[in-house]
Structure 1
Amino acid sequence: MSQTLARPSEAPHASSGAAAKPFFSARNMHAYYGESYIVQGVSFDIRHGEILALLGRNGAGKTSTLRTIARAGTPELKQGEIWLDGEALHDMQAYQAARAGVQLVPEDRRIIPGLTVEENLKLARIEPPVGWDLDRIYSHFPRLAERRNQEGTTMSGGEQQMLAVARALAREVKLLLLDEPYEGLAPVIVQEIEKILEEIKEIGITTILVEQNAIAALHLADRAIILDMGEVVFDGSAREIIDNADLRMEYLAV
């Protein structure tokens, strides 16, 4: 089984001297929650405009890897480098990474209580405005346009997910980090979220997607990383995983 896996150093995507410099690069990331060693030497590159599915079983380190990239404070990065469009994210705090274009949509969405949909979106924008304006957001998210004056936390889970994604797009986005965007949503709402993510893909926004619904994530993604116990055990095309039932069963149980 192991012979089918592409280690990061062996992966066809890995950059060479003649290859273009990757848009995003994680190099030998080691991150900890206190004494717990969570992200164990994770390395991968992403080209501009690619969608990367970050997959693995529960506890594999997927969310921790996203939070490390977003410089969320926990887990703590103790070794390694993170580069985005020539900027050293590993030297930044969370607010600096956000201003550099890293936008994290967390699993819990973090809609601000007491604010309407539109107020949540306006609060996300910075001066001078560089992200999507309200007209563009509402054209891609018609449900949010209908509920612009509704308090965000009173909407359904799917509508809150749409708001969380739209809020990220209201700022400059160089790298969009999506943590379990389909979690707990009805199938009809999942289809709407998928449509929105397809539109984001067509626009060319570089994205890392963590999703337990591995098959849905793989059909959206260009490439995939599989984590196991905090380490990369596969780095290759999404199609390779779709076509390899043994690989899916061993690391994803699907």
Structure 2
Amino acid sequence: MSQTLARPSGASAPSNDAAGRPYFSARNMHAYYGESYIVQGVSFDVRHGEILALLGRNGAGKTSTLRTIARAGSPELKQGEIWLDGEALHEMQSYQAARAGVQLVPEDRRIIAGLTVEENLKLARIEPPVGWDLDRIYGHFPRLAERRNQEGTTMSGGEQQMLAVARALAREVKLLLLDEPYEGLAPVIVKEIEKILEEIKEIGITTILVEQNAIAALHLADRAIILDMGEVVFDGLAKEIIDNEDLRMEYLAV
């Protein structure tokens, strides 16, 4: 079992609201796929408007942690608490968490076949509308504006990733969860996705990012968590990992 490392010197503690609460907080999460113990006592905080990179080798529990936060139903949270802006996500089902502002962009993107880009975006919006309208989405995603009448599943992988992120923004977003947004994309498209995520960061949307391209994720993120075998082994500034080759090699192999 891995030993959790202390927060490195110079790392900033997550900011609290007027009541002393972190904007997002996971506390002692234990989650299971059936009898398989996947998320093993994970705890961390995220400040408002921060990008947190959630890193680790394959099988470390990164996607399972995201799905637990999103209340996806699998894995099943059997112990722990999850709080967002004072609301108890651990008491919610997935649709309730989505209405509370948790938007998960999964690795498979889940673009709805048979619908155009614009139809996918319109379907994502809820009544009364609280997320980005189409003009704002197309302003940040000009490629989607050009392809608004194209069937979503016929676009390139990078364009589908843009649509998946835009669809999340079409709803109220307090916490954006991104699972492998660069997966399978050409470097030039990765740069475009990075630009979009930097714009989202400037707007102040709180984001947790899971990404195998650890270096790219670290350059985008403010802070980082490293998971190993379902446990947190590092919690600190992203720069601390970039500057610590031994840590990267031990837990990320980069």
TM-score, normalised via structure 1 length: 0.95
Q: 1:118 to 1:198 in 2, by over 3 A?
A: same
How far apart are the structure 2 equivalents of 1:66 and 1:3?
22
Q: 1:10 to 1:229 in 2, by over 3 A?
A: farther
Q: 1:9 to 1:216 in 2, by over 3 A?
A: closer
Displacement after TM superposition at 1:10 (Å):
12
Displacement after TM superposition at 1:21 (Å):
1.8
Q: 1:98 to 1:2 in 2, by over 3 A?
A: closer
Q: 1:58 to 1:96 in 2, by over 3 A?
A: same
- Contact 1:8–1:232 (CA under 8 A) maintained in structure 2: no
Partner of 1:182: 182
Partner of 2:92: 92
Displacement after TM superposition at 1:3 (Å):
9.4
Q: 1:133 to 1:34 in 2, by over 3 A?
A: same
Once the two structures are aligned, what percentage of the paired residues are identical? 93
The secondary structure found in structure 2 opposite 1:19 is coil
Partner of 1:238: 238
Displacement after TM superposition at 1:6 (Å):
1.9
Q: How many residues align?
A: 254
**Deviations 1:100-129 (CA, angstroms, capped at 9, x unpaired):** 000000000000000000000000000110
Displacement after TM superposition at 1:11 (Å):
7.5
- Contact 1:8–1:43 (CA under 8 A) maintained in structure 2: no
- Contact 1:7–1:232 (CA under 8 A) maintained in structure 2: no
Which ranges of structure 1 fall in alignment gaps of 5 or more residues? none
How far apart are the structure 2 equivalents of 1:134 and 1:18?
34
- Contact 1:107–1:181 (CA under 8 A) maintained in structure 2: yes
How far apart are the structure 2 equivalents of 1:16 and 1:102?
19
How far apart are the structure 2 equivalents of 1:69 and 1:172?
16
Displacement after TM superposition at 1:13 (Å):
2.1
The secondary structure found in structure 1 opposite 2:3 is helix
Displacement after TM superposition at 1:20 (Å):
3.8
- Contact 1:71–1:90 (CA under 8 A) maintained in structure 2: yes
How far apart are the structure 2 equivalents of 1:28 and 1:181?
27
- Contact 1:8–1:14 (CA under 8 A) maintained in structure 2: no
**Deviations 1:154-203 (CA, angstroms, capped at 9, x unpaired):** 00000000000000000000000000000000011000000000000000
Displacement after TM superposition at 1:8 (Å):
11
Q: CA RMSD in A?
A: 2.5
Partner of 2:101: 101
Instruction: Select between 219-228 and 6-15 the one with higher mean Cα deviation.
Output: 6-15
Q: 1:2 to 1:40 in 2, by over 3 A?
A: closer
- Contact 2:16–2:23 (CA under 8 A) maintained in structure 1: no
How far apart are the structure 1 equivalents of 2:135 and 2:216?
29
